[in-house]
Amino acid sequence: MKNLENLEYSEVKQDERAVEKPNLKGDRRNFAFLILLYVLQGVPQGISVAIPILLQNRGVSYNDQAEISISIFPFSSVPQGISVAIPILLQNRGVSYNDQAEFSISYFPFSLKLLYAPIVDSVYLKSFWRRKTWICGSQIFVGIFMIYTSLCVDEWMGIEGNKPQILMLTIFLHFMPRNQGLFTLSGFLMFWAIIYLLITILIAIFKSENVKHHKKLHETTDYGIKRAYSDLVDIIKLKPVIQLCTMIFTIETCFAACGAITSLKLIEYGVPKDKFALLTLPSAPVQILFPLLVAKYTTGKKPLSFYYKIFPCRVISMTLKTFYIFHTRKILESSLVSFYVGIIILYFFDHCFTKASYSADGCFITKIADPMIGGSYMTLINTFANVGNRIFSTFFLWLVDKITWKQCSSSANTFSVQNSTTINTCANDLEKEACIENGGNCETIVDGFYIEIGISVIIALIWYKFMKSVIFQLQRYPREDWFVLTKNRFYEMQQIEKNEENK
């Protein structure tokens, strides 16, 4: 069956019998090029982490922060980074957790990438090839978008003392530090916008593409947008995919509260925003090197087994970090150095465990994805993780204010504190303003953040018990059980070969 020699499916079957040891021979330049693209993605991601802290310092509510975050995902990496920063900026500006929850909604459009992933697989300029068409096109758009943002971000962030324009921030995701930092946010964006455009031009001119997989894909003559979406639906119907997506989606309930609120709590408890970025800096090299250290476990035959084993470490790390945050004010008062040493160590191990977990499930997804429609396949599965993270993060941000009890009290005893545990007299902005106007102060009696962490730990224990059988079952499925287009193409070629033999 000579025609089968060109099929991905036959190659997959050969790989199952004899797997060649992976190496970078002949791909070192491509590897360096890929790193460059990821560096570009990281620029906006970093900005997105900072903005929430700055806004929080200015008093922006979590609700408004959630609205802002909705705008981030459509533009993927660059805005994604900015979106991470916005909650920090909002926290720095005194924004409530409810407004932060609204801001976090801005992440949801990112999940729409599932809707256009089949288009990426099926529509492109044939003379320019698929990857170059979409990489160059999207980066040119992002570069122009960042240039425009750099011209408007100052106005959108709002003048000091005034409420930021949440709507425009949601659309644009931007922040600018006024009196500190080596660069202004607008200047930073303008610089990277130019870098984006220059690198895109170089890619278009000098980077060629391997056409092997394009030819194989288009041996299926009816492959187009309609067929791509049809294949996406077929993927969703696969039993192994349903189980995998359920696992990836539900695990986010265990860590969403800690991930969404921890940094904001540190700002609330007095950690300066300009020092906050330094907390995670020591772990940056680890995030690069640690996946290499655990590659033996994540790239083996059963990467999800390692994924399952590392889960308790993540839960323990979350619990210890929460306990440390609870005592932040006391530690800051006693020893500033001790606080930073402790929190850096906790962040260090937390990032190690999280990165190991992501590496394991990422390797597994790469192994089982249908090679002929890998873009749509991997996007589908990652979408469930992204949606799960955003849904539960937004929910916990919204809930934290609802289950937090604050009592208005003053030295003049203007407000009674006898029923502080039953009467939430600082439940909203109006009540807080009334309390302050009467010389009072809103004191937290029950912090909803710690209630949420307790709930998260309980959910984690349940998840760990009931997902064990699912995880090990996923690794027992044959690779062809995960395929849609490759398997169908294989059977089509078999039938054609049989018909030719009968003639």
Most confident listed range (92-96, 395-399, 451-455): 451-455
Q: Which has more pLDDT, 252 or 500?
A: 252
CA nearest neighbour of 479 among 12, 4, 17: 12
Least confident interval from 243-257, 325-339, 418-432: 418-432
Confidence at residue 72, expressed as pLDDT on a 0 to 100 scale: 41
Position 210 pLDDT exceeds 60: no
Instruction: Give the mean model confidence (pLDDT) for residues 20-49.
Output: 67
Give the residue-averaged pLDDT of 90-96: 66
**What is the per-residue pLDDT for 108?**
61
Distance CA 189, CA 194 (A): 9
pLDDT value, residue 75: 40
Question: CA 376, 380, 385, 387: dihedral to nearest 10 degrees?
Answer: 110
Closest CA to 367 of 5, 19, 6: 19
| C-alpha span between 110 and 407 (Å, rounded) | 39
User: 53 or 1: whose pLDDT is higher?
Assistant: 53
Assess whether pLDDT exceeds 50 at residue 25: yes
Q: How does residue 51 score in pLDDT terms, banded at 50, 70 and 90?
A: low
Which pLDDT belongs to residue 181? Answer: 47
Give the model's confidence band at 15: pLDDT under 50 very low, under 70 low, under 90 confident, else very high. very low
Q: Is 90 exceeded by the pLDDT of residue 255? A: yes
Portion of the chain with pLDDT greater than 70, in percent: 58
More confident residue, 172 or 458: 458
Contact 101, 69 (CB under 8 A): no
User: Average pLDDT for residues 390-397, to the nearest whole number?
Assistant: 88
Instruction: Specify the pLDDT at position 325.
Output: 92
**What is the average per-residue pLDDT within 69-81?**
44
DSSP classification of residue 372:
G
pLDDT digits (tens, 9 = 90+) for 110-129: 666 667 667 766 666 666 66
- Kindly state the average pLDDT of the residues 385-407: 86
In the numeric block, which tokens belong to residue 3? Answer: 């025609």
Q: What is the mean pLDDT of residues 167-172?
A: 49
Give the residue-averaged pLDDT of 180-190: 63
CATH numeric code, 218-390+450-503: 1.20.1250
Distance CA 260, CA 262 (A): 6
Phi and psi of 70, rounded to 5°?
A: -60, -30
pTM, to two decimals: 0.68
Per-domain boundaries in the chain:
26-206, 218-390+450-503, 405-446
Compute the mean pLDDT over every residue in the chain, rounded to the nearest whole number.
72
Lowest-confidence pick of 82-86, 417-421, 469-473: 417-421
For the ranges 46-60, 124-138, 353-367, 448-462, the maximum mean pLDDT occurs at 448-462
What does DSSP assign to residue 3? G
